[in-house]
């Protein structure tokens, strides 16, 4: 029996904006525009300050997302090597007929 489980938690760090809060890893829904499409990414990792609310997105996750959303990516290879999280694309310009 040991207490080493605590080491698994990601470290928090001081917010560089307010210098008072701690940045904590949260999973939020990330919104971004790709041309005219609004792309929503659920469970996107971001560091959020618990005092001023500043958000800083995880660099690797942003890189991954950029690659994923790049139209050129994924055309060369057909087999994705890593499991892909669900990315929903919503096209905003033409609405379907009203239900
Ligand atoms: Zn802050």
Tens digit of each residue's pLDDT (9 = 90 or more) over 54-96: 999 888 888 888 888 876 655 555 555 566 666 666 655 665 6
The C-alpha atoms of residue 14 and residue 45 are separated, in whole angstroms, by 17
Residues with CB under 5 A from ligand 1 (ion): 15, 17-18, 21, 49, 51-52, 54
Instruction: Show the beta-strand stretches assigned E in 1-99.
Output: 13-14, 22-34, 37-49, 55-57, 88-91
Q: Is 27 helix (H, G, I), strand (E, B) or coil?
A: strand
Given a cut of 60, whether residue 48 has pLDDT beyond it is yes
The reported pLDDT for the residue numbered 98 is 65
Tokens of 31: 């919104």
Instruction: Output the CA 64–ligand 1 centroid distance in Å.
Output: 26
Calculate mean pLDDT across residues 22-32.
92
Given a cut of 70, whether residue 7 has pLDDT beyond it is no
Percent of the chain beyond pLDDT 70? Answer: 61
């Amino acid at each position: 029996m040991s207490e080493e489980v605590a080491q698994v938690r990601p470290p928090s760090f001081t917010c560089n904006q307010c210098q008072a809060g701690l940045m904590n890893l949260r999973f939020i829904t990330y919104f971004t525009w790709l041309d005219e499409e609004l792309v929503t990414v659920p469970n996107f990792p971001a560091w959020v300050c618990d005092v001023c609310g500043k958000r800083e997105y995880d660099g690797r996750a942003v890189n991954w997302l950029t690659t994923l959303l790049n139209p050129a990516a994924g055309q060369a290879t057909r087999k994705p090597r890593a499991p892909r999280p669900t990315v929903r694309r919503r096209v905003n310009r033409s609405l379907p007929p009203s239900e």
